[in-house]
Chain A
């Protein structure tokens, strides 16, 4: 039953639906003497400096054949001893100076994260320089980190979410680098040598693919020598990975990965939108309405709120370098999987055929624009925005311009996009569990659930 809203609250809602645009954040382009470019936002809220950076196309896509996990293993080792400092000395120094320094390798990029109190900044930058330029790869940390990753891989063999992810990528991208697990496999990890990691470092951690975002209590004049010190000695260029573009066209159907758990984990995916697609912002609005993380999304309403079938159900756009996905997921007890999957298909079909309402589009736009400033409440998060803006060629004025792109989306555009993009007949479904009454129509990929 729907209760009548008190007039007071209805008035309030109407009055407040105009949301101010993002605050004026001034982004400066800083170029060092050696030509290293960073985007900077000066902010003296706390006495710190955050540097976020990414090496584009330097993630798992660079892994040599049979040596999957090279980028990831390297990312875990370059802060385990560098220069004259062995692993414990290096980590001890980071710890004593409260320096947060970490590296990670994803499917496409190799990223780094630096956060230091300004009073330790000079020493902290030295540590960053050493990690990027002079990692030691000593025997002990290489063996230790390899053991830890192997242990993690073993644990993933029985983790429903990890199994579903792996099955999804192998099903969608057979024979493509995206199907290879970024952390590698037991066999591939064992095959990686120090020479492989050094070659990776020389070929992938190069200046031509570096994007840097800096936020903190720091001036451009202070930043320039820091950029030169940390990044100036890296090679200019290296090897670019060869990765084929893929358009997702199914395979439509269902993979069931047998796992003795009371609750099945379900992932679904179809073709999505590239980040530079002219319809990307319409897609953002469409996804928000479909299952984009608010309680008002249609998937949430149909599957959780009305029927109590799942605790979490969601969708998201995943644009990658060479493929783009519209993905989603839910988890529900084994005897309710069939009903939940049917509902997902019905929701896709209904939106595709009947569209969404002008009101839904308006509410989604209000949320997407209004919540944008919430990304600017901590130093590292702002720096990450600056990296993404460079990574995707968004332009230095993007923070001011972005909400305008969202505002420009119309209901007609969203509904036209829904008609062409949503493809319930081509959904690939992965179910990990022991679902009742769900037939597997696609094979379980090799190596999943082993």
Chain B
């Protein structure tokens, strides 16, 4: 029964949430006021530190997240953020190449890292009496990384193999990669996190060095510690290890803003490996990063729980249960982004039905929401569900660490993260319906068709 899982370092969290159909992207981890019970302080060099005390097991998780990801790459250098993340394990003045993970492992710990469009995260879980060690190690590589050609060359090959696994071997991932430039006219979310193959293959050490120097500094990171520790302990260790690191000027470009989208676009990929057709609708939507935590954003979260969340949602019920024309259907809203958010719906036609059938049925469900609105009772139940999710938000170490770090990285305050359930509780059916009309009625949209080779687009 116990299967060692294949090691997939890094689990490059496909934080491109809009493209992750299977997962509904509301943030169930966010908690009622004081559910995380997080405490926070900021070092003189600008590093914000958050502590969530949890003494269930004598272990601790450290997550250091830089406010820099694939979207911050220089044009032409896609993949640099992620390759740098790999190279962060290749040694500093005081830690030999590969030794970082070896030390953590020899101390009974696990470590890994992930890269998204908005951020890059490094984490370790270890016995809580080893917190000093992992903070020392993580602080060390914030500034002292050695980038060496002899380790870069095989590692670049590793990343090209990672690209093969994640993209080239997965038609759905190829479609998502091809669809992104059609969804984003101007924003760097149009580029794949792992990098376009030709740009990835051409990356050099100096590209990585330049990214590292621009973004890896205490004033451009957040540190979250969750586990069997106290605020005082963490404060002392943070002062010792991270405190001496000098802040740096962060070389961020001006953020690129999407112009209003007015056109309808369609991206189609037919591939002989596809055995089940898929359809999706994607639209730009408000995000915490672009709009701040507005009530419209909370209303959209409630909306998409009702319309697209799980197998009692309106979309699943209509297409999969009542009409029986789809094997799956749902919707999502991705709002925890530094750049533009996205909202959308998807469906996979059942045997005997095609893309056109499910597209028409999804549009009918959305039209009904726009014309007749959602009901107060649906909103009440959705709000309760979303709040219930927050009640068990502390039931792990990595969950709270990720929710808090991700929120802080894209510009939310700790209070805003902790206060999420309260904001959700204020949402009424009128709010939901107004938000639906404001966002779903906008003209611009992208539809995607993933098709078996034999099937022509309808």
Which A residues lie at the B interface, using CB under 8 A? 1-6, 8-9, 12-13, 16-17, 19-20, 23, 43, 45-48, 87-88, 91-92, 95-98, 106, 108-109, 115, 117, 140, 143-144, 147-148, 150-151, 154-155, 157-158, 160, 259-263, 265, 287, 292-296, 300, 304-312, 314-319, 329, 331-333, 363, 366-367, 369-374, 376-379, 388, 391-392
Contact = CB atoms under 8 A, between A and B. Distances in A.
Contacts of B98: 295-296, 305
B277 to A, nearest CB: 10
Nearest to B275: A154
A306 B8 CA distance: 17
A331 B169 CA distance: 11
A367 B4 contact: no
A234 B213 CA distance: 64
Given A19-B127, A144-B321, A311-B164, 12 more contacts: A5-B95, A8-B94, A23-B57, A91-B311, A91-B312, A147-B351, A151-B327, A263-B169, A295-B89, A363-B105, A374-B59, A377-B59
From B106, B160, B320, B324, name the one whose CB has the most chain A CB atoms within 10 angstroms: B106
Contacts of B91: 3
B395 A332 contact: no
Interface in B283-319: 310-312, 317
A46 B392 contact: yes
A257 B6 CA distance: 21
Given A5-B95, A263-B164, A16 B133 contact: yes
Nearest to A80: B311
B430 interface: no
B442 interface: no
15 contacts: A1-B148, A6-B93, A6-B95, A45-B395, A88-B312, A262-B169, A263-B169, A295-B7, A295-B101, A295-B102, A296-B105, A304-B154, A314-B4, A373-B127, A377-B397
B273 A373 contact: no
A334 B171 CA distance: 18
Closest CB pairs A-B (n = 7): A370-B108, A308-B157, A308-B154, A316-B4, A6-B94, A98-B388, A263-B164
Contact of B129 (A20, A154, A318): A20
A17 B130 CA distance: 10
Interface string B110-147: 10000000000000011101100100100000000010
Nearest to B7: A293
Nearest to A111: B1
Given A306-B154, A374-B125, A158 B106 contact: no
A118 B168 CA distance: 46
Interface string B406-424: 0000000000000000000
A13 B106 contact: yes
A388 B395 contact: no
Contacts of B448: none
A92 B164 CA distance: 40
Contact of A370 (B9, B109, B273, B388): B109
Contacts of B191: none
From B91, B146, B275, B392, name the one whose CB has the most chain A CB atoms within 10 angstroms: B392
Interface of B: 1-9, 54, 56-59, 89, 91, 93-99, 101-103, 105-110, 125-127, 129-130, 133, 136, 146, 148, 150, 153-162, 164-165, 168-169, 227, 272-276, 310-312, 317, 320-321, 324, 327-328, 348, 350-351, 381, 384-385, 388-389, 391-392, 394-397
Nearest to A87: B321
A304 B160 CA distance: 12
A293 B275 contact: no
Contact of A333 (B150, B161, B350, B392): B161
A323 B164 CA distance: 33
A95 B310 contact: yes
B7 A312 contact: yes
A366 B275 contact: no
B127 A292 contact: no
B392 A5 contact: no
A215 to B, nearest CB: 10
A154 B276 contact: yes
B93 A292 contact: no
Contacts of A293: 4-7
B273 A158 contact: yes
Given A45-B54, A148-B328, A263 B395 contact: no
B4 A388 contact: no
Contacts of B275: 154-155, 157-158
A80 to B, nearest CB: 9
B161 A150 contact: no
Given A300-B7, A332-B161, A117 B94 contact: no
B127 A331 contact: no
A4 B97 CA distance: 10
Contacts of A140: 321, 324
A3 B147 CA distance: 12
A8 B137 CA distance: 12
Nearest to A294: B105
A5 B97 CA distance: 10
From A4, A48, A372, A373, name the one whose CB has the most chain B CB atoms within 10 angstroms: A373
Contact of A117 (B7, B168, B388): B388
A43 B56 contact: yes
A109 B107 contact: no
Nearest to A378: B396
B395 A48 contact: yes
Contacts of A157: 275
Nearest to B227: A377
Contacts of A363: 102, 105-106
A391 B1 contact: yes
Nearest to B328: A148
Nearest to B129: A20
Nearest to A333: B164
Contacts of B155: 308
